[in-house]
Amino acid sequence: MKSAILQTATRYLLPILLLFSVFLLLRGHYHPGGGFVGGLVASIAFVLHSFANGTENTMKILRYKPLSLLPIGLAISTAAVTLPLLLDLPPMTGLWLEEPIPVIGMIGSSLFFDLGVYLVVIGVVLTILFTIALND
């Protein structure tokens, strides 16, 4: 779809939606949100860009294939789950830094688990949708 209005709107909506997805990611372990919802919002931002500018142009913005996000996200989530085992704690035990980080708040292993889920969701959704779009 080559609509000048949609292309112009997407130019402004893409960074806003990506910022909102990061907000949802960081908010997730305290309130509703998290890696899954944040990943869906980020995916929708790129799908909207793809509708307006074509899948090839969106792939140029991403620089890497979305499929490459899957092992990175799985590795981060797996590390967050298994790190407590090194400290003789049960898996998935929350580990937290002593001091909060300004703007972000307390950093813990749950944030890294959410970050891994965030990357996996973006990778899966974009891989599926871009594969369908490129095979049409």
The predicted pLDDT at position 18 comes to 97
Is pTM beyond 0.85 here?
yes
Mean pLDDT per 10-residue section of the chain, whose length is 136 residues: 86 96 85 87 96 91 93 96 92 87 82 94 96 81
- Are 58 and 50 in contact by the 8 Å Cβ rule? The answer is yes
Condensed to tens digits (0 to 9), the pLDDT of residues 64-81 reads 999 999 999 999 999 999
Placement of tokens 């090839």 in the chain: 56
Give the pLDDT of residue 45: 97
Q: How far apart are CA 47 and CA 128, in angstroms?
A: 11
Residue reference for tokens 């960074």: 15
- Please report the pLDDT score of residue 29 as a whole number: 67
For the chain, domain boundaries: 4-134
Structure tokens at 43: 């995916």
